[in-house]
């Protein structure tokens, strides 16, 4: 039973209770608990075993009892009772924009509709418009929402969202009424996937900004348009929410629209406790209602006795408690990175020669790089045999004679199904360092996968484990691994764990990274570049590291060339 299973159980209960019309604060308690468990770095089963469930904030006796029952028996009587009243499939309707629990209740109770396809049919045959609280427009909006849902299936990669966002921001900057502009929402927090774009503008003329926004050439549809808030759909089906506030409120609004929701709820609670009221316009004295801050995020956090909390930390995962004690980490930054140790060249399945990679890396300002081509048995990726390694080594030696940037000879050595490495010890000695990774046979169970990796990590030549869980967004689930065991082994064997920066990997994830650090693991951040255009993905790896609370000292490739050289014994 994984944390995500327990979280979705609680979320299902919350949604079913919402539809039943249960009190908002009760269902919110279920939601908060679900999110907390999802973000929990510890395995929930372990927590239950140690009888420490109620130590988790937001979990009291009632929820603890339910979670224990679910984990020990695999089911929950309370949920089954709820499902007798409302089939679980009804919850799918909540995914449709413009449909919330109240409307779902009406739709289900009056027409007995239990699926999106049934609702679609009901809209097309004009059965919805006669329900209480619905009209003709409701049918149109529901059908549009269903069409969007069928097409997009939710969230987009951070990389793609960043590109779309950049274009729109530069378009908006052309408008002279835009005094200040910032990305907000999950993109500012650099989450690994993004739902929609949030952009905040400061302007003395909101109408002009909104009118300009809806002229954006890539606009497909206006979802709503008001004085301070407009939502549009782009031709690539991206939803963008733009908010406009006055300059004096820009900081408060940025704080608010950056989220996360969980962070904001906690921050507002803290404000209340300190005798303030916080909304997107500013921080107010609760009694006198006088505004005391709002221009910048810094002044708001400061008045709440907090340091500036970097957006990547704003998930209510302990950043507020540690901020109050002034023990927040000094997060790693992109400029701390001195080199990239996970790059593929033409020798295996990369697109570019080592020479052109060197040139591109010098332009970034790196002091060193490592070329880690695939190993011999990975034929699909042109894995290198011993002769090819020697040839590559000679080329690198020649380059190092003239280049200021140091090139290391590395490998991304395949971990075979039995946990042994794809090269013998003699071959492994040829490399300056050895990265290992799984590229075949993904369908092993948790025990087998975990043993496969931990066995490989015990090999003395190994420097780092590449993309530890092997997940690919939208393509491949992470390997079923006991992460605690992986982290323990990493510490015991001095194996660095990679944060792979490739946009559809971001592996380790932020949550795993945070937990691993707590257990004493060290990391490296690599791009897994297969072309010089990929070198810039380092920023996403660093973003994930920041979301995992990492500092410069936690990451191998923040070290100077001299330190790395002595580390590799070169």
Partner DNA sequence: GCCGTTTTCGGCCCGACTGTTTTCAGTCG
Please list the residues that pair with 525 across neighbouring strands. 499
Task: Please identify which residue in 268, 291, 530, 565 interacts with DNA, judged by CB under 7 A.
Answer: 268
SS3 (DSSP) at 84? helix
Helices 24-39 + 3-20 axis angle, to 10:
170
Site for DNA in 140-179 (CB under 7 A): 141
Task: Please identify which residue in 264, 345, 450, 544 interacts with DNA, judged by CB under 7 A.
Answer: 264
278 or 499, CB closer to DNA?
A: 278
Give the integer Cα–Cα distance in Å for 494 and 378: 26
221 or 552, CB closer to DNA?
A: 221
SS3 (DSSP) at 378? coil
- Would you say how long the chain is, in residues? 570
Task: Please identify which residue in 50, 102, 173, 441 interacts with DNA, judged by CB under 7 A.
Answer: 102
Site for DNA in 227-256 (CB under 7 A): 227-229, 239, 241
Site track 41-80 with DNA (rule: CB under 7 A), x = hit: -------------x--xxxxxxxx----------------
81 or 176, CB closer to DNA?
A: 81
Check if the beta carbon of residue 181 is closer than 8 Å to that of residue 200.
Answer: yes
Residues in Cβ contact with 388 at an 8 Å cutoff, skipping those fewer than 6 apart: 347
Give the integer Cα–Cα distance in Å for 527 and 453: 21
Task: Please identify which residue in 81, 117, 269, 563 interacts with DNA, judged by CB under 7 A.
Answer: 269
**How far apart are CB 257 and DNA at their closest, in Å?**
6
Mark the segment that binds DNA (CB under 7 A) among 170-178, 194-202, 388-396, 397-405: 194-202
311 or 350, CB closer to DNA?
A: 311
**How far apart are CB 56 and DNA at their closest, in Å?**
7
**How far apart are CB 26 and DNA at their closest, in Å?**
4
Pairing of strands 368-374, 339-343: parallel
Q: Is residue 482 part of the contact set for DNA (CB under 7 A)?
A: no
Long-range contact list for 260-265, CB < 8 A, 24+ apart? Answer: 260/186, 260/189, 260/314, 260/315, 260/316, 262/32, 262/35, 262/315, 262/316, 263/309, 263/314, 263/315, 263/316, 263/319, 263/320, 265/32, 265/316
Please list the residues that pair with 524 across neighbouring strands. 498
Site track 277-306 with DNA (rule: CB under 7 A), x = hit: xxxxx-------------------------
List of residues contacting DNA (CB under 7 A) = 23, 25-26, 28-30, 33, 54, 57-64, 94, 96-104, 129, 132-138, 141, 185, 195-196, 198, 224-229, 239, 241, 257, 259, 261, 264-265, 268-269, 272, 277-281
């Amino acid at each position: 039973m994984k944390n995500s299973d327990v979280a979705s159980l609680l979320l299902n209960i919350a949604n079913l209770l919402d539809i039943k019309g249960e009190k908002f604060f009760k269902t919110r308690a279920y939601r908060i608990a679900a999110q907390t468990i999802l973000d929990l770095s510890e395995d929930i089963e372990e927590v239950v075993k140690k009888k420490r469930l109620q130590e988790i904030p937001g979990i009291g006796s009632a929820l603890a009892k339910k979670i224990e029952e679910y984990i020990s028996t695999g089911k929950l009587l309370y949920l089954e009772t709820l499902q007798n009243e409302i089939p679980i499939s009804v919850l799918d309707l909540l995914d449709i924009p413009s449909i919330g629990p109240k409307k779902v209740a009406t739709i289900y109770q009056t027409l007995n509709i239990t699926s999106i396809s049934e609702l679609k049919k009901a809209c097309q045959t004009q059965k919805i418009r006669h329900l209480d609280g619905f009209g003709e427009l409701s049918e149109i909006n529901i059908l549009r929402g269903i069409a969007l849902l069928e097409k997009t299936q939710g969230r987009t990669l951070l990389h793609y969202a960043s590109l779309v966002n950049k274009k729109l921001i530069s378009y908006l900057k052309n408008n002279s009424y835009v005094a200040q502009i910032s990305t907000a929402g999950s993109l500012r927090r650099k989450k690994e996937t993004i739902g929609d774009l949030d952009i905040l503008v400061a302007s003395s003329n909101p109408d002009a900004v909104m009118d300009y926004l809806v002229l954006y050439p890539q606009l497909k549809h206006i979802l709503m348009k008001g004085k301070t808030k407009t939502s549009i759909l782009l031709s690539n089906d991206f939803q963008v929410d733009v908010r406009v506030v006055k300059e004096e409120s820009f900081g408060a609004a940025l704080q608010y629209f950056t989220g996360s929701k969980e962070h904001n709820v906690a921050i507002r609670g803290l404000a209340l406790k300190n005798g303030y009221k916080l909304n997107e316009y500013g921080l107010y004295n609760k009694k006198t209602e006088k505004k005391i801050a709002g221009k910048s995020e810094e002044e708001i956090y400061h008045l709440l006795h907090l340091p500036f909390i970097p957006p990547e930390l704003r998930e209510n995962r302990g950043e507020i408690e540690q901020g109050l004690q002034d023990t927040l980490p000094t997060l790693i930054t992109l400029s701390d990175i001195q080199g990239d140790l996970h790059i593929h060249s033409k020798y295996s399945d990369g697109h570019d020669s080592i020479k052109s990679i060197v040139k591109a890396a010098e332009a970034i300002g790196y002091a060193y790089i490592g070329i880690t081509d695939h190993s011999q048995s990975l034929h699909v990726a042109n894995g290198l045999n011993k002769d090819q390694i020697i040839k590559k080594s000679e080329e690198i030696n020649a380059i190092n004679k003239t280049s200021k940037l140091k090139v290391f000879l590395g490998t991304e050595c395949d971990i075979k199904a039995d946990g042994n490495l794809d090269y013998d010890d003699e071959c492994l000695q040829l490399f300056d360092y050895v990265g290992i990774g799984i590229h075949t046979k993904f369908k092993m169970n948790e025990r087998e996968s975990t043993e496969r990796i931990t066995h490989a990590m015990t090999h003395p030549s190994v420097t780092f484990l590449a993309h530890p869980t092997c997940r690919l967004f939208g393509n491949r689930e992470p390997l079923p691994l006991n992460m605690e065991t992986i982290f323990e082994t990493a510490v015991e064997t001095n194996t660095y764990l990679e944060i792979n920066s490739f946009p559809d990997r971001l592996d380790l994830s932020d949550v795993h990274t945070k937990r691993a650090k707590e257990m004493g693991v060290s990391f490296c951040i690599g791009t897994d570049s297969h072309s010089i255009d990929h070198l810039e993905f380092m920023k996403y790896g660093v973003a994930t590291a920041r979301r995992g609370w990492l500092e410069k000292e936690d990451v191998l490739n923040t070290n100077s060339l001299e330190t790395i050289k002595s580390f590799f014994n070169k």
